[in-house]
Amino acid sequence: MSHHEHPQSTNTESDTQLEPLIAACEQEPIYIPHAIQGFGATIVTNPSMTQVLYASANAAAFYAQHQEPSTPLTAKITQQSDWLQINPQEFFPDSLFTELNDAGCNEAIWVETNTLSYLAWRTDSYWIIEAEPNYPHVSNWFEVQFQRAFHLLRSSQTQQQLLQNLCDLVQGIADYNRVMIFQFDDDWHGKVITEAVREPFNSLLHHHFPASDIPPQARAMYSKNPIRLIPDCEQPPIPLTTIHGTAAEAEANPIDLSTGLLRAVSPLHSQYLQNLGVGASSSIAIFKDQALWGLVACHHSEPQVLDRRRRRLLVRIVEFAAERLWLIHARNIERYVIRMQEAREQLAISAKTAETPHELVKEHAERWLDLFQCHGICYVRGDKMTTMGQNPSSRELQKIVRWLEEHARDEFAWHSHNLKDEVPGLLLENSLFAGLLAIPLKNNADVFSYFLLFRLEQAEMRSWAGVPEKLQVETAAGTMLGPRKSFALWEEEVRGKSRPWRPAQLYAARDVARDLLIVADTMQLNILNDKLEAVNQQLEKLASFDDLTGIWNRRRLEEKLYSELKEAQRYKKRFGILLFDIDHFKRINDEHGHNVGDQILQELSAVVKEALRDTDMFGRWGGEEFLVIAPATGMPELMQVAERVRKAVAELNQAGLPQITISVGVAEYINDQSWDELIERADRAMYEAKDSGRNRVVAGTEKK
């Protein structure tokens, strides 16, 4: 049975017959209009506070018993008709009027005197004053009790410890037989998660209650007043009697008592509590982010009034406990986020050596299975799928991905813990999987990625507080869903669902999935960059290097000549060049062929590179001519470098190749305006070397 469905009825009525009753239950008034409970009295005045319009039927007797000593004799009340003559401004304490005038519409104020405790609020049409007997305590009783509760709750380190301490505190202060923490689920069914219980009640711990037990209109009331008090479940309601005006006027302009505490109890709810064996009840709301999270529900076997000071103390304690509860929750999330951050850092480290994102999934799957509390992981990128742990079949996975592509591609995280019911047909009928968390990764239109987490079905034996009967009762408002009569334990098996995904897990899964996407895209980009780098290197080689010898070509040499010249002109630096060619190279080509000539050029290039310094730049100037650029070098060092190069070539003795020599022209930068001038001097010196018999070095020292 789905947890969001109403529990199956043991009666013979069909669900179709029950649907109107359930709908009527949600519209049922949860208190009796124009009626109160008898642990106080209610007075309704006009906005100017000059007339009493309505008074609860017990008001005269109540005020006769609890009259303020300072009340003027002219304002004494002995019978209900006396309200006709009462001026509220004389009857009630001045501090009450002051507080009400300063308060906003429907803003409740609390004023105490030695005799009475007032709760009052105003609307556009009425001023409403509730009064209860005041039972003075020791002056610092409230502070002592709250400090005790504060220290106990603040010392709680876990949610369970905190809630148990809260139950014990409430029971100790209010003296109820049973105090429960009642938590709502997403469908407003409730579960007792903690309790403090004593005789004559039995434990209801871990019992569930259907949403119809606390309908929407009842839950909404807690936003107006966080506490609901029923001191006597069997006490009949006390009506408001008309003092000035008519019943028709009251019906046309009804009095909203929801802000107060005295409002009368719905007969159906009163009967429900009596069926449960409860004589007195109270409940205090627990809010999370301004939404109702649960209740502190209290039961007593006999009627019992909880005075206003104790109520206010309990509300304060519950509010503080809620703050502490969400702090513990936030710290748990913080610890989880730290664990996830560590996992992401490990992923980043692994990504430096992994070749594909699929490798990373395999490497980190075990840790992720633990962090996400899931049973299987599936990573999809394009047409490749990697699975780890327990996953649906390949066919089911493909069907899931196709469905996600069509219905959830633009969502940051699609999740379900009831997959078979939410998307019928995605899983086989006998599949044990129920939970899916899917992160679509939209990196581009052609290659899509999904990070999928799966959870197995988690069968649960659910204990209900009694057979959830659906009984019809006739009320003034029509046929209603009546209160259950039996609260004996009733169990059912809930199947087809997994553990729900927590918000922190959704965001953590999204972050991991995006990390994988970044890694995958980075790897793809690196592959493309490597290819581009290889192409660029090839282009660079073609643009800057000589194909035959592997040394710089003329274009590259000219660039360096230009930059060296500019640097020398600006910073007065020295540099020089060596220009040489192979003696009788044409004869070698003619006699031995061009293949041998090419080998000679290659061997010469290799031996010259060995003879040069690391800072020297060497390239092929053209044909059999070569150029060396020597930075930060002048005469006579240039001549020494040139002689070393000439000697190395002359000593080159490669089997199968003829002996060769070179003629070298040397030129040093002398305030030249262009590198052409430098080349021209070196070229004249080279030809002078040839004319002088070849295999020698000549310096070109003068400008033409």
Active site residues: 624
Contact 563, 631 (CB under 8 A): no
Helix, strand, or coil here: 354?
Answer: coil
d(CA 48, CA 31): 28
Contact 53, 34 (CB under 8 A): no
d(CA 622, CA 556): 12
Q: How far is CA 625 from CA 581, 597, 621, in A?
A: 4, 13, 5
d(CA 132, CA 648): 117
d(CA 282, CA 299): 7
**CA angle centred on 543, ends 539 and 546, rounded to 5°:** 110
State the residue for tokens 């659906």.
470
Helix, strand, or coil here: 366?
Answer: helix
β-bridge pairing 190-197 and 207-209: antiparallel
Token duo for residue 704: 């033409």
Cis before 636 (ω within 30): yes
Residue 214: closest CA among 462, 489, 484: 484
Q: What are phi and psi of 539, to 5 degrees?
A: -65, -40
Q: In sequence order, which residues have a C-beta less than 8 Å from that of residue 531 and are 6 or more positions away?
A: none
Query: 246 in the Ramachandran plot: left (φ > 0), alpha (ψ -120 to 50) or beta?
Result: beta
Number of helical H runs and strand E runs in the chain: 19, 27
| Kind and range of the H or E run holding 653 | none
Contact 396, 404 (CB under 8 A): no
Q: What's the number of CA atoms in the CB half-sphere (13 Å) around residue 501?
A: 28
β-bridge pairing 207-209 and 227-230: unpaired
Q: How far is CA 18 from CA 24, 25, 322, 483, 681, in A?
A: 10, 10, 37, 14, 111
Handedness of CA 479, 480, 484, 485 (dihedral sign): negative
**CA angle centred on 196, ends 195 and 201, rounded to 5°:** 100
Residue type, 683: D
d(CA 19, CA 21): 5
Contact 42, 257 (CB under 8 A): yes
d(CA 336, CA 330): 10
State the Rg of the chain over Cα.
Answer: 47
Contact 87, 50 (CB under 8 A): yes
Residue 668: closest CA among 573, 581, 558, 582: 573
Question: Residue 197: how many CB atoms within 10 A of its CB?
Answer: 19
In terms of Cβ atoms closer than 10 Å to its own Cβ (0-12, 13-18, 19+), residue 574 is middle
Question: Residue 98: how many CB atoms within 10 A of its CB?
Answer: 12
Question: Residue 462: how many CB atoms within 10 A of its CB?
Answer: 17
